Amino acid sequence: MQDAMRRLDALTQQLIEADQSGAGMEPIAVARELGVIRQLLAQAPAVIPATGGQQHFRCESCGTITHGAAAPARCTTCGGRTFFSADLEQPAVESAGG
């Protein structure tokens, strides 16, 4: 997620500079970078894992997050079939009294 945000900020800055300097930017270069950023956002873990083993899955097409034991067959929002795990890594649990 942080990588996606950093790339988005950098692209925004490049567009501003391209406009102010009059140098312009290649539209296809902007499109490619936006494609990379979109993929990073779709795959980025964002949910604190639930207790009890339920997992969270983000639809690659629309971003809807569904929870359950496994990814749904289809997204209930858009019908998409591709999902990425949205759960953040569990922090290591320190033993009490240590």
- Name the site residues for Zn ion (rule: CB under 5 A): 59, 61-62, 64, 75, 77-78, 80
Rounded to a whole number of angstroms, the minimum distance from the CB of residue 73 to Zn ion is: 12
Q: Kindly report the number of other CB atoms within 10 A of residue 57's CB atom.
A: 21
Rounded to a whole number of angstroms, the minimum distance from the CB of residue 62 to Zn ion is: 3
For residue 72, what are the contacts with CB-CB under 8 A and spacing of at least 6? 57, 66, 83
Instruction: State which residue, 25 or 80, has the beta carbon closest to Zn ion.
Output: 80
Instruction: State which residue, 42 or 75, has the beta carbon closest to Zn ion.
Output: 75
**The residue to which tokens 């980025």 are assigned:** 44
Q: Bridge-partner residues for 10, per DSSP?
A: none
Instruction: State which residue, 12 or 82, has the beta carbon closest to Zn ion.
Output: 82
Rounded to a whole number of angstroms, the minimum distance from the CB of residue 75 to Zn ion is: 3
CB 77 within 8 A of CB 91: no
